[in-house]
Every structure is written in C-alpha cells, then in structure tokens.
Amino acid sequence: MSERREQVHKDQELTKTRRCKLLEVSRSSAYYVAQPVREEELALRRLIDEIYPRWPFYGSRRIRDELETGGHTVNRQTGTAIDA
C-alpha cells in the first residue's frame, strides 16, 4: 500500500473523504481491498501464457478454441472457467 493511502487510514479527526482529497488519493482506491486469485484462474493464465508465444496473432476466440481443444471450457471475455 502506498504511503499516502496508508495516511488516509491513520488520522481520525478528519473524514475519510476529506483526507483523500487532501492527500490526492481517489476514494475508490482508499476503500479497495484486493481479492485473491483462485488457483483455477492461475492455471488458465499459465495455459494462455503457453499459447500466446507460439501464436501471438491469435485473438481471444482462437485462444479459447485452443484451450477447449485441451479440454478446458472457458468464457472468452473473462478468461474464467465455465462450470458445466
């Protein structure tokens, strides 16, 4: 976390909105909490990383088709596995 974002959470005298404005930190980033990436998604990303260097001209549809050829059914837009 950046120093300015940490400072947003320290001072209790001012509202969080005011602290964000003074520190020039967007409010959405002050409230953001990162979500852990699922193992299934990491595995799909690794597979895509193997496909792309071999065929860098492939678009999302052809990469999806390659994944499906390998037995992985995925959503082309989000890159997440589709539960059957």
Q: What is the CA radius of gyration of the chain?
A: 20
Q: Label residue 64 exposed, middle or buried (CB < 10 Å: 0-12, 13-18, 19+).
A: buried
* DSSP secondary structure string for all residues of 6-43: HHHHH--SS-HHHHHHHHT--HHHHH--PPPPPHHHHH
One domain, residues 18 and 46: no
Per residue of the chain (84 residues), give pLDDT as tens.
577 777 777 767 888 888 888 888 888 888 788 889 889 889 889 999 999 999 999 998 899 899 989 888 887 766 666 654
Give the number of domains in the chain: 2
User: Which structural domain range is residue 23 located in?
Assistant: 1-34
Give the predicted TM-score (pTM) of the model.
0.58
One domain, residues 25 and 53: no
